[in-house]
Amino acid sequence: MPSGIYECISLIAERIADNKDFLTELDREIGDSDHGINMSRGFTAVMEKLSPDESDIGAVLKKTGMTLLSKVGGASGPLYGTAYMEAGKLTVGKTDITTEDMKSILEAAIAGIQKRGKAVKGEKTMLDSLIPASESFNKKIAEGADMVTGLEAACESAREGVEYTKTIIATKGRASYLGERSIGHQDPGATSALITLEAIRDCMKG
């Protein structure tokens, strides 16, 4: 990995902080105006717990997940927390990852989110960017693509997934209370997931 896991999580934290107001504004439209606040509070706490010399990917991801679970109120804390914890279980002792590892990480993160939140694709959640991203990544690497090329494709599909959330009714989470009125608004969690994937892509570019 061109940058270490500490740099990767730092970049995610930075992008979340940069998009705090944007994510909160999206959540104001169909939720309770706290998604950006929740996510940036969580990643501020994560950065306080990590030290730059940590290189065990699994240990860092587990710490990230546990911190998000304990510090973030709202649906997104336990969901992202579980995703990072599940990814961490697959990467204990590793300081570098292959495309096969990344495939497993994305799949395990999604499985964790689904186990916890019981949502499927098409319910206007973070899964609507993550699932297409994971599928595109797998397709690309099966064709022999490298990590960055795979992640480029993943981000493109995640972006399409975010656009797709504007066209559908929320049936999970707070936005589901709005029913049809949720149409026309992009999902905050799908957006923070896209931001996360773009940070991972940029981190892998080095």
Task: Give residues in contact with Mg ion (CB under 5 A).
Answer: 27, 31-32, 34-35
In this chain, which stretch among 60-68, 74-82, 87-95, 198-206 interacts with ligand ADP, using CB under 6 A? 74-82
- Residue 42 in contact with ligand ADP, rule: CB under 6 A: no
- Residue 188 in contact with ligand ADP, rule: CB under 6 A: yes
Comparing CB distances to ligand ADP, the nearer of 89 and 174 is 174
H-type alpha helices, 19-146? 20-30, 35-49, 57-71, 76-89, 99-117, 127-142
> Which residue number is nearest to Mg ion in terms of Cβ?
31
Comparing CB distances to ligand ADP, the nearer of 166 and 174 is 174
Cα distances from 111 to residues 59, 76, 84, 85, 86, in angstroms, run 20, 15, 11, 11, 8
In this chain, which stretch among 14-22, 32-40, 57-65, 133-141 interacts with ligand ADP, using CB under 6 A? 32-40
Identify what 117 binds: ligand ADP, Mg ion, none; CB under 5 to 8 Å per kind: ligand ADP
Residue with tokens 């499927």: 120
* Amino acid identity, position 197: L
d(CA 42, CA 89): 20
Question: At 192, phi and psi to the nearest 5?
Answer: -65, -30
CB of 72 to Mg ion, least distance (A): 10
Comparing CB distances to Mg ion, the nearer of 7 and 32 is 32
For ligand ADP, the binding residue among 87, 190, 195, 199 (CB under 6 A) is 190
d(CA 37, CA 14): 13
H-type alpha helices, 31-75? 35-49, 57-71
Cα distances from 38 to residues 12, 119, 163, 181, 197, in angstroms, run 14, 20, 22, 24, 18
For ligand ADP, the binding residue among 41, 103, 172, 201 (CB under 6 A) is 172
For ligand ADP, the binding residue among 174, 178, 183, 202 (CB under 6 A) is 174
* Amino acid identity, position 103: K
Binding residues for ligand ADP (CB under 6 A): 27, 31-32, 34-35, 38, 74-76, 79, 113, 117-119, 125-127, 172-174, 187-190
